[in-house]
Amino acid sequence: MLSRMQTLGNLFALLSLLCCVHADVVERFEDVPECVKYFYKEKVPEWGASAPGAARLCHRFSNRYHFATLYDTNHRIAVYAAYKFQPSNGGGREKRWFVEPQYLSRSDSQFKAEGVAALQLVDMSWQAEMKEGYWLGKDHPGVYQGERQALNEDYTHSGFDRGHLNPNGHHAVPSRNATFTLTNVVPQNPKLNQDAWRIHESRLADLFRDTCSEAFVLVGAVPSAGDWIVKNNVRRVNILEYLWNAYCCVDNNGVPVQSGGATARNTGANRVEQLSLDELGEFLQQFSNSPVGALFYNNCRA
C-alpha cells in the first residue's frame, strides 16, 4: 500500500511540474505573465516585431524567468533585450556561456517539410532552461546548436568582445548568471565595450539605485548592412552598426519620474550619445520602413 501511495504521490508531483513549465521560445511575450512583466505596464514595443526571423525568448535559469529578448535569427544577434534593474548582490562573473536548448532542436527545412512556421514550434521534449553548450552537446550528440543562434566559437579569435546587451552588472544572482546566454551578446568593439559603454552602464546603475523604485530597460542592436563574423566561409554573426538603450524609471506608485536613451556606434570611436526617448525613436526610425512607435507605455510619461 505504501509503495502504491508513493507512486501516486510521485505521479501527482510530476503532473504538477508539467502543468507549470513554460516554453523558452514563445509566440507572444504577452502570453507569459512571468515574461511580459519586464516591459513597463506590459507594453511590448513594436520595434523589430515584424522583422523576418524574429523570435521571442523568455530566458529561463534556476527554474524561473529573468528577462526577455526579441532575437533576430537571420543576423544571430538580438533586436533588443528587456529587463528590470536589480541592485547587484555580488556573486562574481559567470564563467560559462549558455545556449537556448528549445531553440535548436530541428532545422528550418524540417519545419517547412511539416508545413509549420519554423519560429512558432519547438521540441518540448528538450529542456526549457538555458544550458552550457558543451554539456548540451553531450546530451544531444550530433545536433548542430548554431543553426539559428550564435555559438561561443563564433566569437573566438573574431577580434570582437562578447558584449552583453542586458548587462550582468544590472542584476543580482541568479539573474546575473542568466545574462551569460549567447542570445544576449553581440560582437562589440572591445574599446567601446570595455570603456565608454561600460561607464555608461555603471552610471545608469547609479541612477537607478538613487532615483527609481523600479527601472525598466531596453537594450538593442542595429545590424550592419554587410559586416559579419565569418567562420569557414560562412557568415555567422552580424557585426552590429549601433548599440542603443532606453529606460523608464518609476516611483513607488509606478509613476514615471525619469526616462532617457543612448546610442553608440560600434567602433573604436568609443563615444556614447545621450538622447531623450523621442530623440531615440527618431534615431531608430532611420532603420525602419514602418513606424517605430513608443518603446514604453505612453513613452514613459506620467
The model's pLDDT over 233-291, given as tens digits with 9 standing for 90+, comes to 999 999 999 999 999 999 999 999 999 999 999 999 999 999 999 999 999 999 999 89
Could you tell me the maximum CA-CA distance found in the chain, to the nearest angstrom? Answer: 73
Q: What is the Cα–Cα distance from 196 to 153, expressed in whole angstroms? A: 26
Lowest mean pLDDT among 25-29, 93-97, 142-146, 225-229: 142-146
C-alpha span between 95 and 274 (Å, rounded): 32
**6 in any annotated domain:** no
Do the domain assignments include residue 1? no
The pLDDT, as a whole number, for residue 299 is 97
- Here the CATH number for the domain that contains residue 265 is 3.40.570.10
Range of the domain at 73: 24-300
Give the containing element (helix H, strand E) for 99.
strand 98-99
CA torsion angle for 171, 172, 175, 177 (degrees, to 10)?
100
The region that residue 195 occupies, defined by phi over 0 for left and psi between -120 and 50 for alpha, beta otherwise, is alpha
Q: First vs last Cα of the chain: how many Å apart?
A: 63
User: Is the residue at 143 inside a domain?
Assistant: yes
- 234: Cβ–Cβ under 8 A, 6 or more apart, which residues? none
The verdict on residue 131 lying in a domain is yes
Would you give the DSSP letter of residue 33?
H
- 3 domain-assigned: no
The answer to whether residue 22 scores a pLDDT higher than 80 is no
pLDDT of residue 115: 38
Q: Is residue 12 part of a domain?
A: no
Is pLDDT of 167 > 70? yes
pTM for the model stands at 0.82
The count of structural domains within the chain is 1
The pLDDT mean for the chain works out to 82
Measured in whole angstroms, the distance separating CA 115 from the mean position of its chain's CA atoms is: 28
